[in-house]
Amino acid sequence: MIKPEQNERRSTLRGKRVIVLGGTSGMGFATAEAAADEGASVVVVSSRQEKVDAAVSRLPQGAEGHAVDLANETQVRDFFGRIGEFDHLVFTAGDPLQLATLGEVDMDAARQMFNLRYWGALMAAKYGSVNIRSGGSITLASGTAGVRPQKGCTVAGSVCGAVEALTKALAVELSPLRVNAVRFGLMRTEMWSGIPEGDRNAMYKAAEKFLPVGRVGEPEDAAEAFLYLMREKYSTGQTIVVDGGATLV
């Protein structure tokens, strides 16, 4: 039988304040929900107020939500200027992926991907780190395209590689604050909403046959990785892999 004091030791997020940027859907929402279930006070942030309101309505009482354009430096700076102290920062923000061969790359869309996924993460670390209490952390999101790109992933792979390099640099720059990343494989989230439903389902079915685990990832799988990096106290500058074994085959 697990004693009450053992439960308390395991629930290391109880009483902590967790901010999830991109926390209104997919991996971000699952992370906010899981952290709240462990007793954390959660703050979710997204660019659209209606999505923020919908997410907060599904979270436990006391959850906060804010509409912030995470690619806009003024808005990011102002948000962290008024939010106060907190313990953990998770960055999962990202528009639906637009995959294209090099000749078809839309440069404006490519720049926007960097603006949100890379520059947004950098700005969040710059303005948010000063508010993080001792023992806290920052965790960023990356993807396997950075280490095993396929055709059409030129921009996505570049962003992932940049985010992982940023993770290492921030871990040194912000020491002793811990900064880590999670490198995700295929996850069944809104990130793929830019692909027609039929093609998207076909992609998932093909992955189920290809992946060693026999299924695609779910938002709850992602949440476990983020919670692990919040809970544990000794890793920094690291990227852990949650990809169903995709990079093995």
| Catalytic residue set | 142
Query: What is the bridge-based pairing of β-strands 86-91 and 41-46?
Result: unpaired
Q: Long-range CB contacts (< 8 A, 24+ apart) of 105-114?
A: 105/154, 105/155, 109/155, 110/155, 112/71, 113/155, 113/156, 113/159, 114/155, 114/158, 114/159, 114/162
User: With contact defined as beta carbons under 8 Å apart, do 116 and 28 qualify?
Assistant: no
Q: Which residues contact 232 (CB under 8 A, 6 or more apart)?
A: none
Amino acid letter at 123?
A: M
Residues pairing with 137 in the sheet: 88, 178
Cα pseudo-dihedral 132, 33, 46, 175, rounded to 10: 20
User: With contact defined as beta carbons under 8 Å apart, do 159 and 114 qualify?
Assistant: yes
* Residue 202 CB neighbours (<10 A): 12
Instruction: Extract the tokens encoding 175.
Output: 């020491």
Q: What is the spatial distance between Cα 150 and Cα 99, in angstroms, rounded to a whole number?
A: 10
Q: What is the spatial distance between Cα 247 and Cα 38, in angstroms, rounded to a whole number?
A: 31
